[in-house]
Amino acid sequence: MKAIDVLSLRHRLVRAPDAHKGAGGRVILVGGQQGMTGALVLAGMAALYSGAGWVELAFLCDPAPRVIGEQPELMLRSASHFLSALQTNPSSLNALGIGPGMGQSPLALQLLAQSLPLEVPLVIDADALHLLAQNPKLLAMLRARSLPAVLTPHPGEAGVLLGCTAQQIQADRPAAVQRLVELTHSVVVLKGQGSLCAGPGLDAGISGPEICLAGNSGMGSGGMGDVLTGLTAALLSQGLRRGLGVWDLTRLAVQLHATAADALVHVQHLGPLGLTASEVAKGIRPLLNAP
């Protein structure tokens, strides 16, 4: 199986000296129900440290937080504000990520249903994947998108989508990721040791799967998937306007995510035990800016 080897693509994201925040794009991330707000904050941090021009978080909890003291650059909204913004000016956002800490409430379902038809780069994770599995109409909307979405399931979420167990997914990961692409018509990242990427290719074929050889056991902790969601959304918001495609940008996100974790463990000796998702989020920035 081919290894993911796309770190050189990060140089395509370099901005001109006179670039403003619009060059990084506007990223909106949706999730954060009561008790799960940290998941959305981690995704937002990752998006900021990955070069997004500005990041808005749409919280399902009521009331939404007013400010994140450690990261005041994040703009915080309520889910109702997000819904009205979609109705009035959907073209104003450059990438959308949905799912971290979102839950499976009627409001979460409504948010996903309104997000799927938008022809903007879309990353789907966590509870949003469960909602897709439970609602054939939403799955049909996903399959009908002209710009493929990016799905980032772990083995348990992959099993829910395919109607099997996580153990069955792990028994044949390459076959599982290909089945997910066929089911969703999306670029899919099957997370885990040796994360796999696959996507819809020409003539309904499959691009990949390709395997990420970077990464370590310290990534087996809460919030790592949320960081990948924010990172992927940020790269999509920047890279599509620079001639990169969803397939390339997704693989770049996966490799940056794992390589940042390796740098923290093997260079800075921060783990693997006790490695945190927020440390990985901050570790992406030096990789993006490396010569």
Tokens of 210: 């390709």
Residue 1 lies in a domain: no
Within a domain: residue 11? no
CATH number at residue 25: 3.40.1190.20
In a domain, 197, yes or no: no
Q: How many domains is the chain built from?
A: 1
Give how far Cα 13 sits from Cα of 19, 73, 140, 243, 281, Å: 12, 21, 33, 10, 18
Residue 73 in domain = yes
Phi and psi at residue 17, in whole multiples of 5°? Answer: -60, -30
Contact 152, 123 (CB under 8 A): yes
**Global pTM?**
0.97
pLDDT in tens, 145-182: 999 999 999 999 999 999 999 999 999 999 999 999 99
Q: Considering the domain boundaries, does residue 8 fall inside one? A: no
Residue-wise pLDDT tens digits, 182-241: 999 999 999 999 999 999 986 567 787 999 999 999 999 999 999 999 999 999 999 999
- Do the beta carbons of residue 180 and residue 161 sit within 8 Å? yes
**What whole-number distance in Å separates Cα of residue 241 and Cα of residue 264?**
31
Domain, as residue range, for 38: 19-191+202-286
Give the three-state DSSP class for 195.
coil
Burial class (CB in 10 A: 0-12, 13-18, 19+), 135: middle
